[in-house]
């Protein structure tokens, strides 16, 4: 299924390149702003190298962990397309997993060269850990983050079993997540009174945490604790999503059936 999706999506090669251009626009704007602030003498809790590495990698991680299916899945539920999947030997969700993986596979080809260019421009002020262990953790954490975002999307879309229009909720999720995940401002710059909340809420583990592994000064203990919490969220939200989905399927009365 993933292979079929890749073949289908690669028709829109040009579109992917343009989409990825949009993806790195905002991180670059933020990068320039914060570097200016630093050069202007702002007293940030992190240094220039952290900021630079953070924003250069940000575009990649947000892409790699993103999910865009909530609205589509909700539509399939509302319009009764789910019915035809219920008699097939695979869940409708499998289709969305295939779509997610295939689009990301193609996006990587468009995005990596762009990130490479930005990387090269700022090569002098990048923080790059030498040991391969960190990069392995980075990869693991991205996979966990992607699963986490996907699960959150299932939870929101599954509300369509009971509600008519989840469009507003989907939009709200996107906006709130963009701030709480660290996609707009590095969470390290959040004010100290919000620390306890910011560091432990699930959205941190969808974007910020993987980036922090490479860019940040996380100690060995922070790393283990972070990965533990991330895994915990994946398991808990995954179980919850399973329950909600199963309950939804039972409550489902197809349109047109």
- Give contact residues for other proteins (rule: CB under 8 A): 12, 14-15, 18-19, 21-23, 25-26, 29-30, 32-34, 36-37, 40-44, 165, 167-168, 171-172, 175-176, 178-179, 184-185, 189-191
- Is residue 70 within 8 Å of residue 153, measured between CB atoms? yes
The least CB distance from residue 243 to other proteins, in Å, is: 28
Residue closer to other proteins (CB basis): 172 or 239: 172
Residue closer to other proteins (CB basis): 23 or 53: 23
User: What is the distance between the alpha carbons of residues 206 and 253, in angstroms, rounded to a whole number?
Assistant: 33
Residue closer to other proteins (CB basis): 165 or 254: 165
Joined together, the tokens standing for residue 95 give 């289709």
| Among candidate residues 227, 247, 209, 161, the one with its CA nearest the CA of residue 65 | 209
The least CB distance from residue 140 to other proteins, in Å, is: 29
The least CB distance from residue 157 to other proteins, in Å, is: 17
Residue closer to other proteins (CB basis): 128 or 175: 175
Alpha helices in the chain (DSSP H): 2-9, 13-39, 48-65, 70-78, 82-86, 92-121, 132-158, 167-180, 195-200, 208-215, 220-251
User: What is the distance between the alpha carbons of residues 149 and 171, in angstroms, rounded to a whole number?
Assistant: 14
The least CB distance from residue 96 to other proteins, in Å, is: 21
């Amino acid at each position: 299924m993933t292979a079929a999706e890749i073949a289908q999506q690669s028709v829109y090669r040009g579109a992917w390149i343009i989409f990825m251009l949009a993806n790195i626009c905002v991180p670059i704007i933020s990068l320039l702003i914060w570097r200016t602030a630093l050069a202007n003498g702002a007293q940030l809790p992190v240094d220039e190298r952290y900021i630079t590495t953070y924003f250069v990698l940000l575009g990649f991680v947000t892409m790699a962990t993103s999910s865009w299916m909530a609205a589509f899945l909700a539509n399939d539920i509302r319009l009764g397309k789910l019915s035809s999947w219920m008699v097939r030997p695979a869940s409708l969700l499998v289709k969305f997993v295939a779509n997610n993986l295939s689009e990301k596979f193609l996006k990587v080809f468009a995005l990596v060269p762009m990130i490479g260019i930005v990387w090269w421009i700022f090569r002098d002020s990048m923080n790059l850990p030498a040991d391969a262990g960190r990069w392995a953790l980075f990869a693991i954490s991205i996979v966990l983050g992607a699963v986490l975002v996907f699960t959150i999307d299932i939870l929101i879309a599954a509300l369509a079993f009971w509600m008519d229009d989840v469009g507003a909720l989907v939009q709200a999720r996107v906006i709130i997540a963009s701030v709480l995940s660290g996609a707009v401002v590095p969470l390290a710059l959040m004010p100290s009174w919000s620390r306890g909340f910011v560091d432990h809420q699930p959205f941190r583990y969808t974007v910020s945490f993987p980036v922090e592994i490479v860019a940040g000064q996380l100690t060995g203990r922070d790393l283990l604790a972070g990965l533990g919490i991330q895994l915990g969220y994946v398991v808990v939200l995954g179980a919850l999503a399973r329950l909600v989905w199963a309950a939804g399927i039972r409550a489902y009365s197809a349109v047109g059936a």
